[in-house]
Structure 1
Amino acid sequence: MLSPVFLAHGSPFTIFEDSNFTQFLNRFGQSHRPKAIVIFSAHFENEITTIAATDGVHEMEYDYYGFPPEYYQVQYPARGSSIVASIVEERLRKRHIPVQQKYRGMDHGVFPILRHAYPEADIPIVPVSVNPYLPPEQQLAIGEALRGLEEDGILVIGSGFLSHNLYEFDRDPEAPPRAWAAEFIDWIREKVLARDIKSLVAYETLAPHAKRAVPRAEHFVPLLIALGSGNPDKKPQVLYDEEVKHGSMSNLSFQF
């Protein structure tokens, strides 16, 4: 099934990891073989929804700092698709959502996970920006504009993290989960699986420890976009939910 997904994108370390999470990504790629991928990355921000349109091989955006040299040499030579980019633009314009096409390469919200899921880099990738300052209802509306793309073989991915507070980041990946992070993640899981849209759009006031878990929304809104793009009559499912890394970073991922 190609129904939309929210995937945790991992840290740059994910690029070279062989872990439970990267093995999940490999299995995901084997069971989900789209004609093209539209991916909303937490690391691609713009006030106007921006589609990175190209038919060429994507440039690499090494948007991280302080890693060994090999992390700045990795390549993922996937091409884009101007046709799919235009489909996305047309759908957004029909919903009166401001949109533009402006090229930007693949960042680490895109290539680390796709490198494990589709190592052959043979599926066209269309990165799309997020605006963390839009209200949750508008994030859902962006997703709703793309509802049904799976019927054309196009997979919509929201790439981010449910809990993303670098001030609470523990350098030890095996640090025990912090209570506040676990409570927030549990609340989100419950509301997503119940498709409780009313609660999710009010997560900032209803979810426990929301401000601590989501001090800035760029990593959270890909969840709302992916949720909005899913079939409202279909029950959401957990794709991956095995560990919290670095004390507060959950790899919890969903299919809608």
Structure 2
Amino acid sequence: MKDGRRIKQILILLLLLFLYRAFFESPPSSSPPISNAGGAMDTFFISHGSPTLSIDESLPARHFLLSWKQKMFPRRPTAILVVSAHWETTEPTVNVIQGRHDTIHDFYGFPDKMYKLKYPAPGAPELAKRVKDLLTASGFKRVYEDTKRGLDHGAWVPLLLMYPEADIPVCQLSVQPNRDGTHHYNLGKALRPLREEGVLVFGSGSATHNLRDLRPGSDDSVIPWAHQFDNWLKESLLQGRYDDINHYEKKAPHAKKAHPWPEHFYPLHVAIGAAGEDPKAELIHHSWSLGSLSYASYRFTSSSG
């Protein structure tokens, strides 16, 4: 009888020990820890150029993005935050999408097959809330949520090529064309913690973007103003002159010609700001289309890891 009672007591103690470890030492199953074995993420600026990037096999930038996972960034993000030139608001806004994104075909007069393309990536509502919290904590007094807006072509066209499976949660953050480069740099600066959480942050715009000065058939001949601005941008980034980038309107040659409106340039500022302290810039792709449309794309790696 004593042996049986002792065995019963031992079993009860083992059960209590098991329950203690399960409850106090294991993370809750609903909130698994983010695996970030590869260290902090880099940030990127992607020049998405024309919407025909989605179908035009002649564009080198298309093949660059198609090789993204194999050659440029094999690491799988936990989620993706895209800052697209094609979502303009007066105040920072995130899309909080439950379920799958709608695909917005926000362009006109292109081949019919482009309007049939879909990118039904899952929404990232948790990331959207995190972005809003980070911005609010950094002093942005008004940050809004949009629960209906899908992915515009500044987001889904590059993503369609980079991650064709559409199986990584995606969130979008808007740009504010009524503000300046420093505002957008500070947006990115507030988002720096996302790099430690496995989130891929990239800005999607264009290194040059003047739709009134495109030259069909001139892909091998770059217009001088576009070439000069693009060279200034490359030298400024590679030399770490980020304050010049923030004030490009005063510092860059042909700034107003290269960007009559600033919305395609501001995603670059967010990418720089989000990269961490003293980031190092790397030109990861460079090509031209239509004589003045630069597809220059950049990677930003923080010196602090």
Which amino acid in the other structure matches residue 61 of structure 2? F
Q: Which residue of 2 aligns with 1:90?
A: 133
Q: Which residue of 2 aligns with 1:14?
A: 53
CA contact (8 A) 2:182 2:247 kept: no
Please point out which of 292, 298, 304 is paired with 1:248. 292
User: How many aligned positions are there?
Assistant: 255
Distance 2:257 2:250 in 1: 12
Distance 1:32 1:139 in 2: 26
Q: Which runs of 5+ in 2 are unaligned?
A: 1-37, 301-305
Q: For the structure 1 residues 193 and 148, does the alpha-carbon distance in structure 2 shift closer, same or farther, using more than 3 Å as the test?
A: farther
Q: Which residue of 1 aligns with 2:43?
A: 4
TM-score, structure 1 normalization: 0.95
The Cα offsets for residues 146-189 of structure 1, whole Å up to 9 and x where unpaired, read as 01312111010100002101110123362511011000010011
Give the CA deviation at 1:106.
0.8
| Percent of aligned positions that are identical | 36
- Backbone CA RMSD of aligned residues: 1.4
Q: Which residue of 2 aligns with 1:167?
A: 212
CA contact (8 A) 2:240 2:279 kept: no
Which amino acid in the other structure matches residue 23 of structure 1? H
The 5-angstrom pairing of residues 90-239 of structure 1 reads 90-97=133-140, 98-102=142-146, 103-172=148-217, 174-239=219-284
CA contact (8 A) 1:148 1:230 kept: no
Distance 1:173 1:99 in 2: 42
Distance 1:158 1:39 in 2: 6
SS at match of 2:67: helix
CA contact (8 A) 2:105 2:153 kept: yes
Structure 1 segments, 4+ long, off by >6 Å, are none
TM-score, structure 2 normalization: 0.81
Whether 1:59 and 2:98 are equivalent positions in the alignment is no
Q: For the structure 1 residues 100 and 28, does the alpha-carbon distance in structure 2 shift closer, same or farther, using more than 3 Å as the test?
A: same
Distance 2:289 2:231 in 1: 15
Distance 1:114 1:84 in 2: 17
Q: Which residue of 2 aligns with 1:27?
A: 67
The Cα offsets for residues 100-137 of structure 1, whole Å up to 9 and x where unpaired, read as 11131111101111111101001111011101121221
The Cα offsets for residues 175-210 of structure 1, whole Å up to 9 and x where unpaired, read as 511011000010011111112122112210111111
Give the CA deviation at 1:22.
1.8
CA contact (8 A) 1:3 1:150 kept: yes
> Which of the two has higher C-alpha Rg?
2
Higher RCO (CA < 8 A, seq sep 6+): 1
Give the CA deviation at 1:20.
2.5
